[in-house]
Amino acid sequence: MTLVITHCTKRKRSVPLQDLCAHRLSAGPTGQVVKDWAMRLSAASPAVKARDLYAGRGLSEARRAADSVGGRLAIISAGLGLVDGDTLVPAYSLTTIGGDPDDIRLKTGASRSEWWTAIQSASPFAGTLRMPDGLILAAVSAPYLEMVAADWSSWPSADLERLRLFSKAAPTGAAAALRDAWMPYDDRLDAAGTGFAGTQGDFAQRALRHFATAIAVTGSQDGDRVAVDSALAGLAHRARTVRRRIDDDAIKDTIRREWSAADGQSTKMLRRLRDTLGLACEQGRFKTLFNEVKAERTS
């Protein structure tokens, strides 16, 4: 059976439990913090399957890929470890993404890799996954690849040979040992057929689904890389708009000026900033700034 792996998202379909928000933890050594977190996980009541907890296109693409090959889905979660998608888990908020109040590194000072080692050992949910005998298809963004790279690089050679890795850039640094598993997708994926265009944020999962549905080779890593190259050959890179970057204060001033034009709606505002005004603003950054302006207006 094929195993499809992707990472969790900040957006969840259930509201995180108060005790399972990382900012409520006390700072300390990694071992102490992860022990506290694991006790909270054990005390919580699992309410939803891991595969259904997270929102966003990335998870949707991974679910579709798993379903298309009759495989299992697993989730890389900074709060739970590597979890089988069918495992019941509680809603939580813990990340290793900078700028988030629930970034666990604010409590431990540890690296992403160090935290991953700790949570994999301590989480009551991390032992639910069993490696299958088939391919392992993993769609992983750069921060999550940084988190799991050392762990995955130590896998038995048989597991590494079955791994097919999907990320925007080829693995380097601590992840260099996974280079042979990387499938060479690039932005020509947008032109690979209906439904494969998207954002940089869901690139890895879109590439994973393309491989699962349009290639699905079960040969060697070398052979599968050749198959990906052949699938992308002759396709054109999508022309990308270059937007102007301005600082946070300038973005907030623009949101204030354009509030009425966007009817006070975040989706319309983001489109206005990007498409009408030609400004660069990553979605997570925009959400924070938009909510700050909204709070000003409310008060």
Cα 298 from chain centre: 32
Neighbours of 88 (CB within 10 A): 15
Q: Is residue 85 over pLDDT 70?
A: yes
Average pLDDT, the chain: 92
Q: What is the pLDDT of residue 199?
A: 86
Residue range 108-123, pLDDT digits in tens: 999 999 999 999 999 9
Answer for the pair 161, 221: CB distance below 8 angstroms, yes or no. Answer: yes
Q: Are 166 and 210 in contact (CB under 8 A)?
A: no
The per-residue pLDDT for 248 is 92
pTM of the full structure: 0.80
Q: Residue 87 and residue 89: Cα distance in Å, rounded? A: 6
Residue given tokens 């089988």 in the structure block: 84
Q: What does the pLDDT look like over 172-211, one tens digit per residue?
A: 988 999 999 999 999 999 998 888 999 888 999 999 999 9
Q: What is the pLDDT at residue 283?
A: 84
Q: Are strands 279-280 and 244-245 parallel, antiparallel or unpaired?
A: parallel
Q: What is the pLDDT of residue 236?
A: 84
**Residue 59 confidence (pLDDT):** 94
Distance CA 49, CA 254 (A): 41
Residue 44 has pLDDT above 80, yes or no: yes
Lowest mean pLDDT among 12-26, 66-80, 213-227, 232-246: 232-246
**Residue 239 binned pLDDT confidence (cut-offs 50, 70, 90):** low
Cα separation of 181 and 178, whole Å? Answer: 5
pLDDT in tens, 253-290: 999 999 999 999 998 999 999 989 999 998 888 999 99
Strand partners, 6: 75, 139
Confidence of residue 52 (pLDDT cuts 50, 70, 90): very high
